[in-house]
Structure 1
């Protein structure tokens, strides 16, 4: 199974690449900076150079040919302004979804954020960010050729993961470690019955594998 991750050098993506490669998957990570390639190779992933802010749908679809699943884990990052929230968190996500559908990739995971809302008002950078993520989520839901799942983590931390989470349509506010986000993504990739779900994730008391199976059965 080949899995391609957008934002391949991100803090969630590198964790996910290690998990997936350890499970025997063929993993590739899309990056803009060739100097990041060594970190991806150390995580067990193939680095693929592509700037999703300027690439065409056709070019990205070519990269995704033959992939069984893709994960959008890219983001403009802290400190970026409103313009890049739009070009990365919305624009690149929309492009990636369109390219995945064109390449006939079936499974698509979107790493979103809690509070994403395309109708959110306000001109502050955080408002623009939540609106951009919400617009990207809404666009993904229109891609009928994709078996998508949207994951909306709470406040991200770099604490060591404990493998215990709360994963629900409405989990409520709270923190969650990037380790546990990556673990949930890995389980979601292996659980196609979660397609069509938008899920919130915070730390909790349910083992990751059980939490994913529970939402898949609802």
Structure 2
């Protein structure tokens, strides 16, 4: 079944066409890689799917509901788009705790376990303003997975990671794939895309063009 349907979507930004009559279906439980040069529209595509941005025309339908009508944002999505904003003067755990309180679905132990899974120390007193880029990236991934989100929208999740962390995140995503989660991701590293994704699409001429099985 289609989890996400993009129907005849047109989108331009500042007079620049990004997508034209775009049609795309995302099947539940599959992993999709989206590739293309910087500025081609990868982040715009993800923002449309997540309800952070609306199409000029056409429809984005998630789980049978059109975004922007009765539903503003899709539910149970784990999202990394751009770099999430955090409270600089708080610790990583304090930041994730504040986010977790929005839905109130998980306890402190779950937050701590997720941080440890990504190589972060939940009891450390270090403030996020003093985190390295790699640590901030791990924190972003933690917020995207800590509530067992069933759909993951990950824009460049491997940015700024060292080799050990990169292998760890790849393995995590492969495990999520086995669990039947739906994953859309972008990466400048083709190896990551080919290893993890069932289908790969390139943004070309305002469309998504399939490049591999």
TM-score (norm 2): 0.36
TM-score (norm 1): 0.35
Q: Which has the higher helix share?
A: 1
Larger Rg belongs to: 2
